[in-house]
Structure 1
């Protein structure tokens, strides 16, 4: 069904890139529309759409800056997951999940590899959409930190599922046999938790923590006349 979008080596054809980009644009604007507040009768807020766009752009750019790269995909980036989680923290999990889905499409465009439709869902679409779950704690104390932890764990769950279904044959021969069943956990949560711990440590810096809270208030329009 999707053969016209995929090359023989698992990449994307020109049509595949075009369709993927078009879908990403449509979903991005839908996410922006859903971000609209009640005071605007659910119309798209230009400011909210702008903040979502900036966060996704920063996430995409920092995903290219990898402190460590894994051999079969994934790696420790310069806090790219945090920028996606912030969207959910600003506007709630509904918008966050949709923005994460768009980010998953961007990651797919950046480095596509297709074994099956469900594999693409596990490795790209659902995994990165899960980062939007960070918005579950937007009204709670230390909500960003709690949301980030949940988002990273949720993203890893989809990567692990994809690992069991599609990538077990890529397990290195020298990997300890006693740990073979845990290979997808070790591989995926290895780099995810490494970036997660680094991000959590950085978030404890008072100046940065205060700056992010100020940005969050501006993004939500708190204190502004509605």
Structure 2
């Protein structure tokens, strides 16, 4: 059954709202932005896998703009683009893997990591401890909160959302 555009838009708005709400439940807050939350990316990732990458990118970018309004950390206009609409928009890449949930979640979060990583190398390399390469610093800093977010997202989908998937379809979604 084909969904109409209004219901897809409403679903996207709800997922952005749920993601924003979950982003307030912080397990860890990094000093220069970034945090481990209670699975705040899961609604965007699932929306992307249900509705496709293009709609997921729009929903993710919208979520990123809300994050910019709620908790801005701004050092440069290009950094704002890399760390907010682009980084969160790349979560929509999960929509390329609608039948492969684990792969979709991983690719979406890796997309976000890549955007934050670039921002870190370009704009936050000076924060690196003396003698540490900006690439290593950015990878460690962003990995320190996105790796736990990946684990939380995978666990949340496995134990919370999988119960809604019929057993005969489960094998397709586990890879």
Using the size of structure 1 for normalisation, the TM-score is: 0.68
SS state at 2:28 partner: strand
Counterpart for residue 78 of structure 2: 118
Given candidates 58, 61, 76, the residue that maps to 1:98 is 58
- Alpha-carbon distance in 1 for matches of 2:20, 2:156: 19
Using the size of structure 2 for normalisation, the TM-score is: 0.86
How far 1:168 sits from its partner (Å)? 1.3
Q: Between Structure 1 and Structure 2, whose CA radius of gyration is higher? A: 1
1:144-188 deviation digits (Å, cap 9, x = unpaired):
221100001110000010001101122246xxx356640000000
Matches for 1:146-157 after TM superposition, within 5 Å? 146-157=103-114
How far 1:45 sits from its partner (Å)? 2.8
Change over 3 Å in CA distance of 1:108–1:180 after alignment to 2: closer
Are residue 58 (structure 1) and residue 12 (structure 2) matched? Answer: no
- Alpha-carbon distance in 1 for matches of 2:92, 2:37: 18
- Alpha-carbon distance in 2 for matches of 1:180, 1:162: 11
Counterpart for residue 165 of structure 1: 122
Counterpart for residue 45 of structure 2: 85
Counterpart for residue 72 of structure 1: 32
**Is the deviation greater in 72-81 or in 163-172?**
163-172
Given candidates 125, 128, 132, the residue that maps to 2:88 is 128
1:87-115 deviation digits (Å, cap 9, x = unpaired):
11111001011111111111110112332
How far 1:202 sits from its partner (Å)? 3.2
Counterpart for residue 173 of structure 2: none
Counterpart for residue 143 of structure 2: 189
- Alpha-carbon distance in 2 for matches of 1:126, 1:52: 17
- Alpha-carbon distance in 1 for matches of 2:44, 2:35: 16
Given candidates 101, 119, 122, the residue that maps to 1:144 is 101
Structure 1 segments unaligned to the other structure (5+ residues): 1-36, 215-226
Are residue 198 (structure 1) and residue 152 (structure 2) matched? Answer: yes
What is the RMSD of the two structures over their aligned residues, measured on CA atoms?
2.0
Q: How many equivalent pairs are there?
A: 166
Structure 2 segments unaligned to the other structure (5+ residues): 167-175
- Alpha-carbon distance in 1 for matches of 2:134, 2:89: 28
2:33, 2:73 within 8 Å by CA — same for their partners in 1? no
